[in-house]
């Protein structure tokens, strides 16, 4: 009967039944809502407790942070913050306990009480730690730290007036120069004294002495200088003061004043022990090791012992002792505080370790209780929902039963059963394209649904494929952009580094020019000294020749004297034969005696002149030795400059190599500078050898002149003997003239004296010959010395020319450096521009990445099956090594190791799992040829690059993109094929 009603009435009846079912469901839902509201109030309370638990944790963390800040920075404000945050924990835990009590949660009430008790213990222990730190001192100027530092600074200020060791050294040196001048009277000791006095003034000005003490040392030094200058002026006038004269005593007395000052202001090693004591103090404060305490006490004892052994006034000694005692007492009190602080800090840590688990348990308990309430509420609501669902299902069954007849008429237009059609629409709307539909007549809804599903499936497959391809390209492009960005940043950095290094090179070149200029001045001084050396050697040669001439004259006089002595012997023989001729013989004897006296006088004069010349020659030789030593110093300076130039050239060559092509010209100039430095070093070595030869020759000349001086002294002694003999002879002649009766005795005495005189004359002649030979040796040595000086002068000219060439090359290096800086600045601007382009590319790439993700997300909403492989990863891997291969063919990047087609990730899948599952598929088999072609061409290009044939490699790479497109097209076709699946009902 119901089926015979019109369709509209049947629909009305069905709608009424459905409304009644919905009313019942509404009543049940209202009951569920009321239950949910009650449960929500309970959950809200638990939510408040949970938030309170989090706040307690936050306050505790802030308290710990303030505690760490206090221990790290030692500022009083953090003590107050710890107290505030502890009060916050205490207050919040009390509120949580009240809420838990209202919900009858005894465990939570107990936990909140435990938290309050432990936070009280933590705050109390922290207050103890803070109190100990306030006693110790929150900074270096407060507490015990301030006390022992004040004592240390007072001790430092006091000990500064006792560090005058360098002044004592200067005084000893000045007294030495004073004694040298008093004994020898040479002006060079006055110059040395002036140099030592300048050092004394400098050390007084720079010593760690107070201004009044410095003033005393300055005044005493000025008085001593005035006394020395007065003595020098007196002696320069030709008068040599005796040691008991007031002018000499005044000079010694003023020096004694400085000695007394030094004795009253010097503690041995006081400043050293003080610095070591402060060092051990710092070591203890930084490391806390107890060994530094004993070391500090040892240094303090050393200061006190050295002070006690000095000549300090007793009151000063007591002051130093008191300051050391105060310093040590304060330091040891600080050590005790540190030890107590460790215990207090450990107590505070124990309190923290006790409270943190309690807070954690409190939060966990609140969360657990809330979860239990939520689960209970959910079960009650689920029960109500199940009842409403049951009623709804019964109402639906009733409605479906009533509408079956109506539906059967409509099904004919749908083409299939309506349930199947609705299920198909539901699955397709949810993205499941695997739904299978029975065959329906053309024009029906089911037929059009199949057509729509197939079209959507193809679109989604293409969308998924292209999104993965786009993602692979975007990721590879991102890597390329990162490489570009990194390369541009490195280029800019290297350009800045090259510019900075070139600036440093400019500075070094400027310093090099200045150093070369000073070296040129030193070489000019060397030329001047060499010229003086040559002149002095000529003077030595002339003096030696004069000495040789004088000695020859002396030898002639000695020979003449010997001849005269023989004549005397003949006359004496005649006296023995005929006394009648005695008067004539005595007359002739008187003449011969006068000649001998004259010859002896000339010999004595010649020996005196030779002695003076020998002394002068010895002084010249000593001057030559000093000049040779100065030359050695100058040569050392030039060698040092050459070594510095060589090192600078080496650094410049390294920087030029780092600059690449732009630094090649600069590297050539740097090598030229290095070569010049080597030539300069060789020249200095030659000069050093010449000066060594000069020093050897001057030492030989000094030895020879000493021998000449000894010979001349011997000759003077012989002349004195001759003079004495002549006086005896004159006495004998007088006796002969006075009494002829004693002629026989006088004749014998004269004969004996003549024999002695002949022997002496022979000795004079022999010594004279030896002296002449020594003088000739001196002349020959001085000629060699002159030749060596000329060689030094020529070598210095060569070094001067090398220095001029070095300066010219340094100017060329500076010019090249300027050009390199300009090029590097341009390269830096280009790198910065490239960075901007890369940043713009990154922005575009991000847009592409977002699009790719959106496409992938859209495709993921549809179920089109699972692919056999990840095509995105395959394409990205191949694009990655292709990009590296392009970079390698352009000469960039490192060596690239390419796997063959069977060793890459896709090749392994293809040969293994893929072949086993899909080996019979034609599209699978079609992948092998393009995959092999890509890998073989890549391997050929890599081999060409390895052999350095970059042009051929780049030419071969032109065909790689076509093979890549063929491979990717085959991959796309195979990918779409693997996504195909059988539809499921």
Q: 341-382 pLDDT, tens per residue?
A: 777 777 777 777 777 787 787 777 777 777 777 777 677 667
Categorize the per-residue pLDDT at 930 as very low, low, confident or very high, splitting at 50, 70 and 90.
very high
Give the torsion through C-alpha atoms of 199, 202, 204, 207, to 10 deg.
-110
Q: Is residue 671 domain-shared with residue 806, that is, in the same domain?
A: yes
Domain boundary among 361, 383, 399: 399
Is residue 326 situated within a structural domain? Answer: yes
Mean pLDDT of 741-749: 56
Is residue 32 situated within a structural domain? Answer: yes
Q: Is residue 347 domain-shared with residue 318, that is, in the same domain?
A: no
Residues 565, 762: Cα–Cα separation, whole Å: 11
Question: 78: domain CATH number?
Answer: 1.20.120.1730
168: left (phi over 0), alpha (psi -120 to 50) or beta: alpha
pLDDT of residue 396: 63
Categorize the per-residue pLDDT at 569 as very low, low, confident or very high, splitting at 50, 70 and 90.
low
pLDDT in tens, 913-925: 888 878 888 888 8
Question: 945: domain CATH number?
Answer: 1.20.120
More confident residue, 448 or 27: 27
Mean pLDDT of 867-881: 77
Q: Is residue 811 domain-shared with residue 882, that is, in the same domain?
A: no
Residue 946: is its pLDDT beyond 70? Answer: yes
Is residue 204 situated within a structural domain? Answer: yes
Residues 846, 233: Cα–Cα separation, whole Å: 94
More confident residue, 328 or 385: 328
pLDDT of residue 558: 45
Where is average pLDDT lowest: 162-166, 269-273, 642-646?
Answer: 642-646
pLDDT above 90 covers what percent of the chain? 2
For residue 977, count other CB atoms closer than 10 A to its CB: 15
Q: Is residue 50 domain-shared with residue 147, that is, in the same domain?
A: no
Domain boundary among 337, 353, 386: 337
pLDDT of residue 194: 92
More confident residue, 632 or 978: 978
Whether 460 and 862 have beta carbons less than 8 Å apart is answered as yes
Domain boundary among 837, 854, 883: 837
Token representation of residue 958: 């032109």
* Domain coverage including residue 498: 490-837
Q: Is residue 811 domain-shared with residue 710, that is, in the same domain?
A: yes
Q: Is residue 833 domain-shared with residue 873, that is, in the same domain?
A: no
Note the pTM of the prediction, 2 decimals: 0.31
What distance lies between CA 707 and its chain's CA centroid? 61
Is residue 232 situated within a structural domain? Answer: yes
Q: Is residue 104 domain-shared with residue 241, that is, in the same domain?
A: no
Mean pLDDT of 712-727: 60
Is residue 451 situated within a structural domain? Answer: no
Is residue 425 situated within a structural domain? Answer: no
Q: Per mean pLDDT, which of 8-12, 52-56, 425-429, 590-594 is the most reliable?
A: 52-56
Whether 414 and 445 have beta carbons less than 8 Å apart is answered as yes
Where is average pLDDT lowest: 629-638, 659-668, 836-845?
Answer: 659-668
For residue 180, count other CB atoms closer than 10 A to its CB: 16
Q: Please choose, from the candidates 488, 425, 415, 417, the residue with its C-alpha nearest in 3D space to the C-alpha of residue 452.
A: 425
Q: Is residue 769 domain-shared with residue 667, that is, in the same domain?
A: yes
Task: Characterize 897-914 residue by residue with b for buried, 16 or more Cβ atoms within 10 angstroms of its Cβ, and e for exposed.
Answer: eeeebeebebbeebeeeb
Is residue 947 situated within a structural domain? Answer: yes
Q: Is residue 283 domain-shared with residue 250, that is, in the same domain?
A: yes
For residue 787, count other CB atoms closer than 10 A to its CB: 16
Q: Is residue 287 domain-shared with residue 383, that is, in the same domain?
A: no
Q: Is residue 245 domain-shared with residue 367, that is, in the same domain?
A: no
Give the torsion through C-alpha atoms of 959, 961, 966, 972, to 10 deg.
170
Q: Is residue 723 domain-shared with residue 791, that is, in the same domain?
A: yes
Mean pLDDT of 50-66: 83
pLDDT of residue 620: 59
Residue 128: is its pLDDT beyond 50? Answer: yes
Distances (CA, A) of 448 to 437, 453, 459, 523, 797: 11, 9, 17, 108, 109
Residues 6+ apart with CB under 8 A from 752: none
More confident residue, 799 or 68: 68
Residue 520: is its pLDDT beyond 70? Answer: no
Categorize the per-residue pLDDT at 547 as very low, low, confident or very high, splitting at 50, 70 and 90.
very low
Residue 557: is its pLDDT beyond 70? Answer: no
Q: Count how many domains the chain has.
A: 4
Is residue 687 situated within a structural domain? Answer: yes
């Amino acid at each position: 009967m119901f089926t015979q009603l019109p369709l509209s009435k049947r629909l009305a009846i069905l709608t009424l039944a459905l409304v009644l079912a919905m009313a019942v469901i509404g009543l049940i839902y209202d009951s569920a809502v009321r239950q949910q509201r009650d449960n929500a109030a309970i959950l809200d309370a638990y939510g408040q407790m949970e938030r309170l638990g989090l706040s307690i944790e936050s306050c505790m963390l802030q308290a710990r942070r303030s505690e760490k800040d206090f221990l790290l920075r030692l500022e009083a404000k953090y003590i107050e913050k710890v107290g505030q945050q502890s009060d916050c924990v205490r207050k919040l835990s009390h509120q949580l306990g009240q809420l838990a009590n209202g919900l009858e949660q005894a465990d939570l009430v107990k936990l909140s009480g435990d938290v309050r008790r432990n936070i009280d213990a933590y705050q109390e222990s922290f207050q103890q730690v803070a109190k100990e730190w306030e006693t110790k001192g929150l900074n270096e100027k407060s507490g015990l730290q301030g006390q022992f530092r004040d004592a240390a600074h007072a001790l430092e200020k006091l000990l500064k007036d006792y560090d005058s060791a360098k002044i004592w050294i200067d005084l000893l040196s000045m007294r030495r120069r004073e004694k040298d001048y008093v004994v020898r009277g040479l002006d060079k000791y006055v110059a040395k004294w002036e140099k030592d006095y300048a050092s004394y003034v400098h050390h007084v000005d720079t010593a760690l002495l107070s201004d009044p003490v410095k003033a005393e040392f300055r005044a005493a030094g000025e008085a001593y200088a005035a006394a020395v200058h007065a003595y020098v002026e007196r002696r320069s006038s030709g008068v040599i003061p005796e040691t008991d004269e007031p002018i000499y005593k005044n000079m010694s007395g003023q020096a004694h004043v400085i000695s007394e000052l030094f004795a009253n202001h010097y503690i041995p090693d006081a400043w050293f022990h003080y610095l070591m004591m402060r060092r051990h103090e710092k070591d203890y404060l930084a490391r806390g090791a107890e060994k530094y305490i004993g070391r500090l006490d040892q240094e303090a004892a050393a200061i006190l012992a050295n002070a006690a052994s000095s000549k300090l006034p007793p009151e000063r000694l007591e002051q130093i002792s008191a300051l050391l005692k105060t310093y040590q007492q304060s330091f040891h009190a600080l050590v005790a505080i540190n030890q107590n602080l460790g215990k207090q800090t450990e107590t505070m840590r124990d309190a923290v370790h006790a409270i943190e688990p309690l807070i954690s348990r409190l939060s966990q308990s609140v969360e657990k209780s809330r979860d239990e309430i939520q689960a209970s509420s959910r079960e009650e609501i689920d029960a109500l929902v199940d009842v409403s669902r049951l009623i709804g299902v019964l109402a639906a069954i009733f409605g479906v039963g009533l509408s079956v007849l109506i539906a059967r008429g409509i099904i004919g237009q749908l083409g299939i059963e309506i349930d199947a059609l609705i299920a198909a629409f539901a699955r397709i709307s949810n993205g499941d394209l695997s739904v299978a539909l029975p065959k329906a007549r053309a024009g029906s809804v089911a037929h059009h649904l199949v057509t729509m599903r197939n079209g959507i499936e193809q679109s989604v497959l293409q969308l998924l494929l292209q999104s993965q391809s786009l993602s692979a390209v975007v990721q590879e492009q991102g890597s390329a952009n990162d490489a570009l960005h990194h390369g541009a940043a490195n280029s800019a950095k290297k350009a800045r580094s090259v510019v900075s290094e070139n600036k440093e090179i400019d500075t070094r070149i400027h310093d090099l020019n200045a150093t070369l200029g000073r070296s040129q001045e030193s070489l000019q001084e060397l030329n001047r000294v060499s010229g003086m050396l040559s002149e002095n050697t000529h003077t030595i040669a002339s003096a030696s020749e004069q000495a040789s001439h004088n000695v020859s004259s002396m030898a002639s006089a000695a020979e003449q004297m010997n001849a005269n002595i023989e004549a005397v012997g003949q006359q004496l023989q005649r006296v023995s034969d005929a006394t009648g001729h005695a008067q004539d013989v005595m007359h002739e004897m008187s003449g011969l005696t006068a000649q001998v006296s004259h010859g002896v006088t000339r010999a004595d004069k010649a020996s005196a002149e030779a002695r003076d010349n020998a002394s002068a020659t010895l002084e010249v030789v000593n001057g030559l030795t000093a000049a040779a030593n100065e030359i050695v110093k100058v040569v050392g300076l030039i060698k040092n400059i050459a070594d510095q130039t060589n090192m600078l050239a080496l650094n410049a060559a390294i920087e030029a190599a780092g600059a690449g092509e732009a630094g090649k010209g600069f590297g050539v100039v740097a090598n030229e500078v290095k070569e010049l430095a080597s030539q300069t070093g060789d020249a200095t070595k030659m000069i050093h050898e010449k000066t060594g030869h000069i020093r050897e020759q001057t030492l030989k000349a000094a030895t020879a002149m000493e021998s000449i001086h000894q010979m001349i002294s011997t000759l003077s002694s012989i002349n004195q003997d001759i003079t004495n003999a002549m006086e005896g002879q004159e006495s004998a002649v007088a006796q002969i003239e006075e009494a002829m009766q004693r002629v026989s005795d006088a004749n014998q005495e004269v004969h004996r004296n003549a024999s002695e005189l002949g022997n002496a004359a022979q000795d004079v002649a022999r010594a004279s010959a030896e002296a002449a030979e020594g003088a000739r040796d001196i002349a020959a040595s001085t000629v060699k010395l002159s030749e060596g000086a000329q060689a030094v002068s020529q070598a210095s000219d060569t070094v001067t020319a090398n220095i001029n060439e070095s300066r010219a090359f340094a100017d060329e290096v500076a010019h090249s450096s300027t050009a390199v800086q300009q090029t590097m600045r341009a390269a830096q601007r280009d790198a910065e521009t490239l960075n901007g382009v890369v940043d713009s590319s990154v922005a575009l790439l991000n847009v592409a990445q977002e699009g790719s993700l959106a496409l992938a997300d859209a495709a993921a909403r549809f179920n089109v099956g699972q692919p056999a492989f990840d095509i995105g990863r395959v394409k990205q891997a191949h694009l990655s090594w292709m990009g590296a291969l392009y970079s390698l063919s352009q000469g960039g990047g490192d060596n690239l190791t390419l796997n063959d087609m069977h060793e890459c990730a896709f090749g392994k899948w293809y040969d293994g799992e893929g072949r086993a599952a899909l080996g019979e598929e034609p599209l699978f088999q079609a992948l092998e040829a393009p995959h092999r072609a890509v890998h073989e061409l890549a391997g050929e290009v890599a081999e060409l690059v390895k052999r350095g044939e970059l042009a051929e490699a780049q030419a071969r790479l032109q065909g790689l993109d076509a093979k890549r497109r063929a491979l990717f097209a085959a991959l796309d076709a195979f990918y779409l094929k693997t996504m195909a699946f059988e539809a499921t009902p």
